[in-house]
Structure formats: structure tokens, C-alpha cells
Structure 1
């Protein structure tokens, strides 16, 4: 769903990993109708201006064209910060790093290695500047900002323990602005390529985890189906609903089923 703040929230968490993957898949909500998707993903008029974002007492300056994090992004930020998504001492890839909140939190949480990856050069520059100012040089942590289409520019030998991604998988095209399209509504294909590259490049360590945000403004059931068929076992870490619409947003943890 779009990066917009839309009032009071209700959280439901803790759907067990022991639930059969296909039963979990069948329990997921269908994609919302087009008119509802468009209504909740109206682009903000200030996207191409300079703005400021505050999180955990830190200030982040957003260059024109870099998206302001919203409630869905904060589902990842908060869980990195509180350790629900564990990165201390681990190799971490923040896919779609945006303005760099995930990278900063991972640095503060003492990740061993941080890949801050985004297809947008302005975003990667912003990430690098925010990380240098807020975290700085930290013994035991290697920071690697990368301009990359998904994992294309990662070293071929790269192995990571944790990957987070809030993909721009909204089903409907909500704007003709290419910046909005890139950040919101590329569609299901980007999620499919994401899983394909993890498998083809054998990116995850044996106990590695993927944390993926998907809402029913995207083709959630098809995305999870593709992940299962690609060898991943999903677990629901958090489900968020709003009192203003029918959007349901899920944070999935996925582990890859390694061949014996």
C-alpha cells in the first residue's frame, strides 16, 4: 500500500510458523478492487520537494523524489529497532533502502555487514549521508551502499543472514509519474524477481531469513504462492489493519528450505 499515514491502527500478530504453508496461503485476503487500491495510494503532492522525516529521535532529510516512509515501512523499522528482526552480528541487506532508516537502525543494532540497496542513486546517496552522520564509523560493522536493480550489483560471493523488503508491488498504476511508479506500483513482477535472485544466487545463509511486507493492494496470495513454490516457508510476524479502509498489511518471515 502507499506510504501514507491514515489514522488509528490495530495490530494482530503471532500466526505460527507451524501452520502449513498452503493453509496460511489460503487464509490470506484477496486483492482489493481497483477503486479501493487507487483511493488509498494517492501520491502526495510534495514528493518532488525537500522534506524532513523524524524517527527515534533521528532526523532524515529527503531529497526531491525520495519517498517518505509511512506506516508500512515503520513495521520493519520498529522490528529492527526492538530486535524482533535480529541483525546484531549478522550480515543484513536492506532492499529498497529509501532514505536509510533501516541501514541506520542496523548500524545502531551492531550488524556485522550492511548492504543498503536501492535502484535510485539519489536514495543511495541519501542513505550514505544519513548513515555517516548518525552512525558513523563503527568497529565490527561494514557499510556497503549500492545502486542496484534488486541484487544485481552485489558481489557474486555475497551471503546474507537477513533481508528486508517492502516491494512496490501495488497492482494498479496509481500515477503516471515514473518516480511514483518505481516506488509504489511496479506490480507482482518485482517480488517474483526478488525471490528468483535469492534462489539463483544462493544469497541466504543456512539460517537466513527474509522479511517481506505485502498488503492486499498487491497480489499478496500470488506472491506468497510464488515464494512457497520457490522453496520458502512463510510465517506471519505481524498483520496490520486500519479503521479507515479495507487494507490489510502483512509482515512475513520466510526461510528457504535447503536441499538435503
Structure 2
């Protein structure tokens, strides 16, 4: 253990509040609803265009277009709710690269774009070069990696965002759909295990995690708490057309490494 905040432990009030939040979360939706809500589009394996604000992106075949849950992160990177300026930032699951572009334009010190799919990393790298380019004080580092597996030892991040493919039900046998949508809650468990075991968060580092009740929401948050994180809801999104509830959590270490 180090000095100051790095030896801080959660108070009983903080722990009680964390578990109360976990218990207040909605249960996972029935399987039939989950499958119906996550049926992929027929054009997934074709080149497509995507626009976010005035930025344009080209989606290679097999790479998903960002949805409403991804935009929860994009918007908050740009408006400063997720503070990235001057910080080392990791976009876990970089997709088309919207998060990486937003972080670069907002003045991140380092932008690490991480995705298991080489085509996603290529699309992110091309979009970043075109929309951000070389900026003094900002370094761009793309990684083709299963979570943090290929990120070098000793890397530490002030900020990580993750919109995991944690949908509980298998909605397709297509490997691209599984990779982008329904790996299940195990990927989030592995994520937190790697963050803790590899000491990947800097002092006062933060994780911003998007999870909905199409996933095992309560179990995911419970595992985060058991791993030593204190969750706080930054945004709660509902829709008039279905019963999906999506949460953007900020998580900080209760017991610093």
C-alpha cells in the first residue's frame, strides 16, 4: 500500500449505500424480451456510414454502429461529465472510435483505443487520424486486445469507459453479433479482475460502465462492489417503447491498490 488515498478504505456508510443501490436496480428482463430487443440489423456485414454530431465514420462489415447506450458515453465525454482533459484515458471496446475522437478533441493526455476486433481498431485509428490528428500533449495508442491482455505491464489509466457486450441471452449464432452484443456478464467480471490484479487504475482513477437490465445487472454491480469498487449512477435512461432501463455508473476504488 502507498500513502494517502491509496490506503483509503470504504466507510460502513459507503458500503451500505453501495449495496442499497445494487438491491434497488431492476431485475433482468425475460429472455424473450431480451432477444426481441437485440435482433441485429440485416446490413451488419456490409460497409455502412455513421454520423455523430458533425463527425462522419465508416463502419467496416461486421463492426456495429453505436447505439443509444454508446451515446450515453459519447455525450458525457464531450460535455465534461466524464472528465478526460489532461488524463490518461482507455476506451474499452473502441468500436468505430467515437469515444477516442471525443477524448482526443477534449484534450486527453493519452487515448488508448482497445478492442478485440482488428477491424474496429483499424476504423478507430483512421477516424482518429482524420478527425483529431496530431495534437500537442495528446498521445494516441490503439490496441487489438481481449480486454487488457495486450496492454503492456505498468500501464495505468486515470479513466476507463466500457459499454460491455453483456446481454444475457444469445441473440444470434453470428460471431460478430456475439462479440458485440451477448458475450454475457463474464466479460465484466474479467474486466474488473484485470483492473484490480494488474493495478490498472491510477490513484483516484475512475471506471464509467454502461449496463442495462438486458444483462445480469444486479450481479454485475454486486461483483464490482465485491471487487472493491463503489458505484454511483451518473445517468439512468428509460424508453417509452420498452422496459429497458440503462445505467451509466461511475465506479471508484473503495480500497485503493
**TM-score band (shorter)?**
over 0.9
Query: CA RMSD for the aligned pairs?
Result: 1.2
> Aligned-pair distance for 1:258?
2.7
> Aligned-pair distance for 1:155?
1.3
| CA deviation vs aligned residue, 1:47-78 (integer Å, no higher than 9, x gap) | 00111110120100101011000100000000
Question: Contact 1:206–1:258 (CA<8 Å) still a contact in 2?
Answer: no
> Aligned-pair distance for 1:243?
0.5
Q: Does residue 1:235 correspond to 2:232, yes or no? A: yes
Q: Which structure 2 residues correspond to residues 242-257 of structure 1 after superposition, within 5 A?
A: 242-257=239-254
Give the counterpart of 1:118 among 103, 115, 124: 115
What residue is the counterpart of 2:155 in the other structure?
A: 158
Q: Which runs of 5+ in 2 are unaligned?
A: 1-13
Q: TM-score, normalised by structure 1?
A: 0.92
Q: Which structure 2 residues correspond to residues 164-203 of structure 1 after superposition, within 5 A?
A: 164-203=161-200
Give the counterpart of 1:147 among 144, 149, 155: 144
Give the counterpart of 1:223 among 220, 226, 235: 220
SS of 1:175's equivalent in the other structure is coil
| CA deviation vs aligned residue, 1:215-234 (integer Å, no higher than 9, x gap) | 00000000000000000000
Q: Distance in 1 between matches of 2:69 and 2:41?
A: 16
Q: Which structure 2 residues correspond to residues 62-101 of structure 1 after superposition, within 5 A?
A: 62-101=59-98
What residue is the counterpart of 2:30 in the other structure?
A: 33
| CA deviation vs aligned residue, 1:8-41 (integer Å, no higher than 9, x gap) | xxxxxxxxx8970000001000000001101110
Equivalent pairs counted in the alignment come to: 244
Q: Distance in 2 between matches of 1:35 and 1:71?
A: 21
SS of 2:186's equivalent in the other structure is helix
> Aligned-pair distance for 1:206?
1.2
What residue is the counterpart of 1:109 in the other structure?
A: 106
Q: Which stretches of structure 1, 4 residues or longer, exceed 3 Å deviation after superposition?
A: none
Question: Contact 1:103–1:127 (CA<8 Å) still a contact in 2?
Answer: yes
Q: Distance in 2 between matches of 1:31 and 1:169?
A: 12
Q: Distance in 2 between matches of 1:102 and 1:69?
A: 10
Question: Contact 1:93–1:115 (CA<8 Å) still a contact in 2?
Answer: yes
Q: TM-score, normalised by structure 2?
A: 0.93
Q: Distance in 2 between matches of 1:20 and 1:153?
A: 35
